[in-house]
Structure 1
Amino acid sequence: MTGTWALLRLALRRDRLLLPVWVLGLALAPVGYLSSIKAAYPDAAARQHFFDLNASSATFVVRNGPLYGSSPGNLLAWQCGFVPVVVGLIALLTVVRHTRTEEEAGRRELTGATVVGRHAGLAAAVLAACGACLVFGLVTALGVAAQGEPWAGALALGAGFALAGWVFAGVGAVAAQLTWGASGARGIGIGVLVFAFLLRSAGDSSDAAGWLAWLSPIGWAHRLRPFAGEQWWVLALGVVATGASVLVAVALAARRDLGAAVLPARLGRSEAKASLRSPLALAWRLQRGTLLVWTGCLGLVGLLMGGVAQNVADTMRDNRAVADVVSRMGGGGAVLDAYLAGTMTLFGLAAAGYAVQATLELRAEETAGRAEPVLATAVGRVGWALAHLMFAFFGPAVVLAVTGWTTGLAYGSGFGLVPAALAQLPAVWVLTGLAASLIGFLPRCSAAAWGLLAGFLLLSLVGTALQWSAVVLGLSPFQHLPRLPGGTFSAGPALWLVLIALVAGASGVFALRRRDMPVG
């Protein structure tokens, strides 16, 4: 363990921008939700009506988990039912980034040649992720308690979020030992996260299968029962699971060589197929898994969101304040249109996440040393970059089209919501262009593209609900899109966003063509 604290400081320094952005940005969501809940349901009768209408909705339970009561704290904990999944995802990606990614890039071998113990890097990565989750939980608890909610419930809510992050930090540590590539480790970790969510959903949806939720770390966060008679002993399950997974990761790391993996790598062909002998074909090979995962996951979310559309419309008809909040996110006069338009905005933000990841694959190839051998051939930098940007620009169209179709399928309109989903593309492309600019001009700060997405997410969700200044909200490109269905399409703002995206992307490619490569 020698050198753990030095490597921990190094990890925190490398993530000095990324970690504060997600900790503070995500912590604002529960605080904003609570303010919206108190404004929309100012008295006990309104909250009880909401409880009676939604507590038994199977689709809502699948998405958010069980609703234990009608107090503002209960409604907040229920509205934040998906937050443990997000925290778990961030935690496992953080651990993989500081373990397997470091090995894949060759930096772990350099640090290991100094006075550093064999398990110091793994310990530092887990401590960084768990520390960030703990800070996030505390900030959330303080923000909720500051609005007058009971301290016990606020602490349980924050502890549930931190608990999920800790467990999946351990999952990420194990996944990093299993495969030789960071992408494979991320795939394993995300697969476990999705399985845990499905277990929780299945357990909460059926009384007979309720025990399944106890097998899921996501279910443990709900079983803490914030604001509903807290069960503090559930925290022990998360601590034990985290400790056990870290011990398994340590045992696996001790039994493999540096750079190797427990699962053997599948050997490729001795010669590439003709279909792989172009920059675009190589980009497809590298990007296809990411595209399929994002499309499949958001397609499932679309089924959930479309399935609850009628329930949400009924709630909004009975509560003018709720209708006003959702209407500010989009849509015309009809409450159902407002809900669906707000949902399309959320899908646009999610598709922007895929666009950022697809764009940053350029930087990942560069830092891993795989770009240089490709560029040493007849492939030029511009062609190589454009091959990846093809997926960053057109991949979101596939994601949004499928998501709009599944939402319409569950809602009953078939392909009717696909145009509304595709209307989000100009704003998504702005994120693609900005990420490309960062790679070209400020490659060391390219991860700041995630910070931009987090900022736009904050403006679209919290800022809109709390009625922030129009000037501030206008910083997000998603605020300039037509609110469909129900709104009126205007080509002017969309064309301006497309122009901004093209200029930003082209300038990024031009800068990439002229700068040194690689930039560490």
Structure 2
Amino acid sequence: MSALTGMGMMIRLALRRDRVVLPLWTLLPALFPVAFVTAFTTGYPTAQARQEYAETSVHNVAFTVVYGALHGSSLGELVTWRAGFIPIVVGLSALLTVIRHTRTEEEQGRRELLGATALARHAGLAAALIIVACGSAVLGLLSALLLIGQGLPAAGALAYGCRLLIAGCVFAAVGAVAAQLTTSAGAARALGIVALAGAFLLRGIGDGGGSEWPAWLSPFGWAGRLQPFGGERWWVLALPAVASAALVVLAVVLSQRRDLGGGLLPERRGPAGAASGLRSPLALAWRLHRGSLAGRIGGLALVGLALGGITESLGELMNNSTPAAREALARLGGPGTVVDQFLVGMMTLLGVVCAGFAIQTVLRLRAEESGGRAEPVLATPVDRSRWAGSHLVLALAGPAAGLVVFGAALGLAHGLGTGDLSGQLPRVLGAALIQLPAVWVFTGLAFALFGLLPRWAATAFAILVASLLCGWAAEELRLSPWVTDLSVFAHLPRLPGADVTPLPLIVLTALALALAAAGWAGLRRRDIPIS
């Protein structure tokens, strides 16, 4: 039997199962650059206006870290820069898709059943990689064609499409390696996301710091160095091609060295008997979430301390920027000093990150259900309300603790740096806590989807990203106010620096409660499990 026997069957099966998800991450990201073309031509119609916008943005460290380095002021370069987050989304989608069709299939026992047929060992892995590579190529080509249709140069448009292809192929290979190392899909996803976050961090350090070399260690950095519409450097494509091929070979070698269903990293086995503290659903939920909660809160503390230490110097840098730069910052940050306006943007990002943590905590319920671990718990005197409520409590309390720790760490470092600890610590802490109602809205949304439409629960992440984009992109590109109003975070008071209006906070909290109640009602009425 050939090493790839049955690969065609596995491709057809994967396409059948991903008939909804695959078109979404293959087609939708291609529409964002077109929207940015329209926004730039409307808001900045002349070359002089775009030059001022570029001068504004190139000195904004936060923008550089998030979107990458800006190399010029042409329409194509600005669109490519503003779409700098899309390769990250594509990389994450590719990573998760490969893990879903490899490690998840093994964990749930379906791969073993298929292996009883005429199916080679590496057929499933090859099928997943081919699907993701083809999907990334389709996305890149479609994006290029749409940009060419907007009147942009063909060479730059093709280079932009190659940026997406780089992200998809490299992180598909990363997902393939992660799937060989662990015995669970959750651990494989964690390893892959750590690798993606590391690549993003290296690119951010290289683009926003004084030295460029860290960006050359990141696939996202390679995508940026391709420089679409700015004198394309096609030789950069050799780096992701070699890296992808090497990672695929590594995944195949690792696959040959492990048993089906097993992983190369040793599995940590628990004690034979449960601890005395595991006598309630809340205690079990805490046991499941405590590691991730500790890691998240610790990471937020470190980031808060780091940001607090450089906030004052960043404020001085922004005070020396152009009037157009200060105007753009004021649109994003509202009233207050330049430092306050910078902190408003950081607090919005903090809210988005904590909302993502909350969604992930809620989705653990879905993982417990689909993995068959919820039924044994519910077969005891524990009912659905106590089981789901224990996870929901941690989804509400965990992000709240993260906001407190981040705000306290940033306020402490900033207060010590300015010599005004008693004044800055409560201001910054309040600015962090003001994000809590919006975070709870997404907690309630994820719980509502889990209770009513469990198969679509993960779309809460897509809604979160859309909310962030509607807020930042609309303010930055001066789009219609109704676009900004689509963002949950746009309705929060812009602290520090603005006045607190209690009505939006009350409305958002009530919305979170209503969504949680809807999810609770749906969970009580539906079957468990729903595969």
1:133 and 1:313 mapped to 2: Cα distance?
Answer: 42
Give SS of 1:225's match.
Answer: coil
The residue number in structure 1 matching 2:495 is 484
The residue number in structure 1 matching 2:173 is 170
Give SS of 1:233's match.
Answer: helix
Distance 1:157 1:344, change over 3 A: same
The residue number in structure 1 matching 2:530 is 519
Check whether the contact 1:119–1:250 (CA below 8 A) recurs between aligned residues.
Answer: yes
The residue number in structure 2 matching 1:317 is 323
Gaps of 5+ in 2: 419-423
2:300 and 2:76 mapped to 1: Cα distance?
Answer: 28
Residue 363 of structure 1 deviates from its aligned partner by: 0.6
Moved more, 30-39 or 500-509: 30-39
Distance 1:461 1:210, change over 3 A: closer
1:68 and 1:343 mapped to 2: Cα distance?
Answer: 24
Moved more, 305-314 or 90-99: 305-314
Q: How many residues align?
A: 516
The residue number in structure 1 matching 2:257 is 255
- 1:191 matches 2:197: no
The residue number in structure 2 matching 1:439 is 450
2:185 and 2:491 mapped to 1: Cα distance?
Answer: 37
Give SS of 2:5's match.
Answer: coil
Q: Which has the higher contact order (CA 8 A, sep 6+)?
A: 1
2:426 and 2:25 mapped to 1: Cα distance?
Answer: 35
Moved more, 108-117 or 366-375: 108-117
Deviation by residue 1:256-298 (Cα, 9 ceiling, x = unmatched): 2221111221222122222333322322232234334544556
Residue 368 of structure 1 deviates from its aligned partner by: 0.6
Residue 300 of structure 1 deviates from its aligned partner by: 6.3
Alignment of 1:97-496 (within 5 A): 97-201=100-204, 203=206, 210-295=212-297, 303=306, 307=311, 308=314, 311-312=317-318, 315=321, 317-319=323-325, 322=328, 327=331, 329=332, 331-332=334-335, 337-405=340-408, 408=411, 409=413, 413-414=424-425, 416-465=427-476, 474-496=485-507
Alignment of 1:36-51 (within 5 A): none
Residue 92 of structure 1 deviates from its aligned partner by: 1.4
Residue 25 of structure 1 deviates from its aligned partner by: 4.9
Moved more, 56-65 or 437-446: 56-65
1:76 and 1:346 mapped to 2: Cα distance?
Answer: 22
Distance 1:436 1:39, change over 3 A: same
Give SS of 2:234's match.
Answer: coil
The residue number in structure 1 matching 2:421 is none
2:53 and 2:143 mapped to 1: Cα distance?
Answer: 24
Partner amino acid, structure 2, of 1:450: F
Gaps of 5+ in 1: none
Partner amino acid, structure 2, of 1:502: L
Identical counterparts, % of pairs: 51
Give SS of 1:276's match.
Answer: coil
1:332 and 1:54 mapped to 2: Cα distance?
Answer: 19
Partner amino acid, structure 2, of 1:366: E
1:340 and 1:28 mapped to 2: Cα distance?
Answer: 31
Residue 99 of structure 1 deviates from its aligned partner by: 1.7
Distance 1:132 1:346, change over 3 A: farther
Check whether the contact 1:2–1:115 (CA below 8 A) recurs between aligned residues.
Answer: yes
Give SS of 1:270's match.
Answer: coil
Distance 1:191 1:453, change over 3 A: closer
Give SS of 1:274's match.
Answer: coil
Check whether the contact 2:362–2:447 (CA below 8 A) recurs between aligned residues.
Answer: yes
Under a length normalisation based on structure 2, what TM-score does the superposition of the two structures give?
0.84
Distance 1:490 1:379, change over 3 A: same
Residue 171 of structure 1 deviates from its aligned partner by: 0.7
1:402 and 1:358 mapped to 2: Cα distance?
Answer: 18
Residue 237 of structure 1 deviates from its aligned partner by: 1.9
- 1:68 matches 2:71: yes
Check whether the contact 1:459–1:476 (CA below 8 A) recurs between aligned residues.
Answer: yes
CA RMSD in angstroms comes to 3.4
Residue 419 of structure 1 deviates from its aligned partner by: 1.8
Residue 174 of structure 1 deviates from its aligned partner by: 0.5
Check whether the contact 2:179–2:188 (CA below 8 A) recurs between aligned residues.
Answer: yes
